[in-house]
Amino acid sequence: MKNRFYFDTKPNENILELIKAEREEIGFYELCHNDVSEYEAYAKSIDAQDIVVVGIGGSALGTSAIYKFLKYTNHFSKKLHVIETTDPLVITDEMEHIDLQNAHFLIISKSGTTVETISVYKYIASIIEITSKNCTIITDEGSLLEKHAIDSDIKVFHIPHNVGGRFSVLSAVGLVPLAMIGIDIRSLLDGAKKIYNSFFNQEGYDTSLLKKATYYAQTANTYNINCLFSYSEVFREFNAWYVQLWGESLGKKQIHSQLHVGLTPVGLIGPTDQHSFLQLIVDGKRDKSVTVIKINNFENAMEVPNNSLKHLESLDVLNGYKFSEIINMQADSIVESLLSLEHIPLDVIEISQINAHSIGELIYYYELLAALVGKMLDINTYDQPGVEMGKIILKEKLNKK
């Protein structure tokens, strides 16, 4: 991937030593170096056709992001299903699309007691016998869910204690289900490693990522909304992963001031959202930065045919263009139009091809960016204290009946 910036700032190099120190404590940094042989061997031993992830938030979003990115161009023989809600309408609908006798269930919960996940697990356990053959559990070492798995003779993979849910896609959380689908998880990690190396190892730090992080942190009060304008539907779930990573990591009270700070993520898909959110970017309040993501080579030959529709001959200018050329020209046109305006910080990320390596790069790039911005904002990037109160109130309500 390449990243072109249309804004400038002096990278805050003071943060580098702090990030290096953090790398010793926080687990996501080194996930890209893990040995995946065990995951691959285990995945190979599972021959179910329907791979069903039961998990929510960080237990599901990264896996969906990678699967959806790849599924249009790789025709996987196995299908991924994700149940990430208590909404009975969706659970019913999803279950109708699963061949229970030919399904493998991955119950994924870091704490082991996530209400949404366990209630769906209970439901599934009531309609099909759960055994060591059709179920895998991924959870923290020592959790109640792990104890349950051991007693039930179900295979367990651990999430490292120092890896938070939204930073866990390159651990067993993402790698096990993705390997089961047939996705090249080595290549995925190689992509992540490439970003790791360019940042940490190549003749000192790559300052371009640091520059971007510095800019976001220093302008957080002006540009408090960060739009990710991704030009292809393949990024739909990646955008959702980004929204969680960014929002949940960076929406915090500052450690030293206790001030509420936060950068608001917005995920957009081009060209569709040119007909929706774009007007707000162009003419609205100047509180938004924009990152455009493009795919250089769609490897798709579909083109506008050389026909002419009566009275619509003015649009024959489209004839002979590949659709992939048109979507990229649309992205370039929006970049040019935004560059002509003031106070809309812009950068462009170019992905060469749609493959596991590319999405590995992109994921690690954003994890590192979130870590850098969080450090500069003087927050704890890795906790989520704000969601606890809702859970406590829910437990009280459940106990009342």
| 94 in Cβ contact with 267 (< 8 Å) | no
Q: How far apart are CA 295 and CA 348, in angstroms?
A: 11
Residues 262-281 that bind its own copies (CB under 8 A): 262, 264, 266, 269, 271-272, 274-281
Site string for its own copies, 316-355 (x = CB under 8 A): -xxxxxxxx-xx-xx-xxx-xx--x---------------
Catalytic annotation present for 203: no
Task: Identify the bridge partners of residue 159 per DSSP, sorted by sequence position.
Answer: 140
> Using an 8 Å Cβ cutoff, are 112 and 102 in contact?
no
Complex with its own copies: residue 205 or 241, whichever CB lies closer: 241
Q: How far is the CB of 51 from its own copies (least distance, A)?
A: 19
Q: Is 155 in the site for its own copies (CB under 8 A)?
A: no
Q: Which residues pair with 293 in a beta bridge?
A: 230, 349
Phi, then psi, of 121 in degrees rounded to 5: -60, -45
18 near its own copies, judged by CB under 8 A? no
269: β partners? 230
Check 75, 122, 256, 275 and give the catalytic one. Answer: 275
Taking the CB of residue 28, how many other CB atoms lie within 10 A of it?
24
Footprint of its own copies on 27-66 (CB under 8 A)? 56-58, 61
Report the site for its own copies in 89-128 (rule: CB under 8 A): 89-93, 112-113, 115-116, 118-119, 121-123, 125-126
Q: Is the peptide bond before 271 cis (omega within 30 degrees of 0)?
A: yes
Instruction: Say which amino acid occupies 137.
Output: I
CB of 70 to its own copies, least distance (A): 11
Count the alpha carbons within 13 Å of 7 in the hemisphere toward its beta carbon.
25
CA distance 181 to 76: 7
**Closer to its own copies at the Cβ: 51 or 83?**
83
Distance CA 182, CA 76 (A): 7
Number of neighbouring beta carbons within 10 Å of residue 187 = 14
Among 10-18, 174-182, 193-201, 224-232, which window interacts with its own copies (CB under 8 A)?
Answer: 224-232
Q: Does the annotation count 248 as an active-site position?
A: yes
112, two tokens: 């082991």
Q: Of 173 and 278, which has the nearer Cβ to its own copies?
A: 278
Determine the Cα–Cα distance for residues 102 and 330; give it in Å rounded to an integer.
Answer: 43
**Site track for its own copies across 182-221, x = CB under 8 A:** ----------------------------------------
- Residue choice 145, 183, 293, 369 for contact with its own copies (CB under 8 A): 145
Using the rule CB under 8 A, give the single segment among 1-9, 192-200, 308-316, 356-364 that binds its own copies.
308-316
Query: Which residue, 17 or 305, has its beta carbon nearer to its own copies?
Result: 305
Which residues are identified as catalytic?
Answer: 248, 275, 391
